């Protein structure tokens, strides 16, 4: 990690090596990451994901599954298997996504899985500004872009409490409630 500009303790390095070994082993069974990205796993996946640590509240940061157990996490994350749009709503403090979908779709999928105070951290590539502009047509998005440490054209969008534009009107009509004008 030091060669990548990230100075970490020996214990952290050992934990990250365990994570990488687990990822490589599972990659052979299920396609977790792009086959061509395994060669650059330390930059493309480890460092790219590690940069989220400064944006996630400490209480919510965790690794997944076996890698989490191997690294001795005190609080094991809950793992939900299934497509995000098909699973029952969760109440996560942090929702992350990388190389999954356009921003507007991510916001839609993440909405039922967030707590009221949750943050979303979405890795976005060189077209992030166009995605943000497009998503802002349908969403009120308070957030901030943070430059990626692994790609000069990429950012991590840190998004707080967001709402769909016109959501109050849609909810009131859909539930038979009257809006502020009494209609």
**pLDDT value of position 95:** 86
38, 95, 133, 156, 161 from 55: Cα distances, Å? 25, 12, 22, 9, 15
H or E stretch including 163? strand 163-164
Residues 78-111: tens digit of each pLDDT: 666 677 888 888 888 888 887 789 999 999 999 9
CATH number for the domain formed by residue range(s) 80-183: 3.40.50.150
What stretches in the chain show pLDDT beneath 70? 1-8, 31-32, 44-45, 48-81, 167-183
Domain ranges, ordered by start, for the chain: 1-77, 80-183
**pLDDT value of position 94:** 82
Could you give the CA distance from residue 122 to residue 62 in angstroms, rounded to a whole number?
16
Q: What is the pTM for the complete model shown? A: 0.59
Q: Where on the phi/psi map is residue 72: left (φ > 0), alpha (ψ -120 to 50), or beta?
A: left
Structure tokens at 58: 């400490």
**pLDDT value of position 63:** 36
Could you give the CA distance from residue 142 to residue 123 in angstroms, rounded to a whole number?
16
Q: What is the mean pLDDT of the chain?
A: 74
Could you give the CA distance from residue 47 to residue 49 in angstroms, rounded to a whole number?
5
DSSP class of residue 177 equals: -
Could you give the CA distance from residue 157 to residue 135 in angstroms, rounded to a whole number?
12
Residues 4-15: tens digit of each pLDDT: 455 667 787 787
**pLDDT value of position 8:** 65
């Amino acid at each position: 990690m030091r060669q990548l500009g990230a100075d970490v303790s020996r214990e952290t390095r050992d934990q990250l090596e365990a994570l990488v070994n687990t990822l490589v082993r599972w990659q052979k069974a299920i396609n977790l990451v792009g086959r061509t990205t395994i060669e650059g796993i330390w930059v493309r996946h480890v460092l790219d994901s590690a940069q989220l640590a400064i944006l996630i509240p400490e209480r919510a940061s965790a690794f997944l599954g076996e890698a989490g157990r191997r690294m001795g996490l005190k609080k094991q994350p809950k793992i939900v298997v299934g497509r995000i749009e098909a699973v029952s709503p969760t109440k996560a403090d942090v929702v992350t996504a990388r190389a999954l979908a356009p921003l507007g779709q991510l916001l839609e999928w993440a909405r039922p899985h967030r707590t009221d105070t949750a943050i979303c951290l979405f890795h976005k590539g060189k077209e992030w500004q166009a995605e943000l502009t497009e998503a802002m047509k349908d969403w009120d998005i308070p957030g901030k872009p943070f430059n990626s440490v692994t790609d000069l054209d990429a950012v991590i969008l840190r998004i707080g409490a967001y709402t769909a534009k016109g959501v109050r009107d849609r909810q009131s009509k859909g539930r038979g409630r009257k809006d502020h004008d009494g209609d």
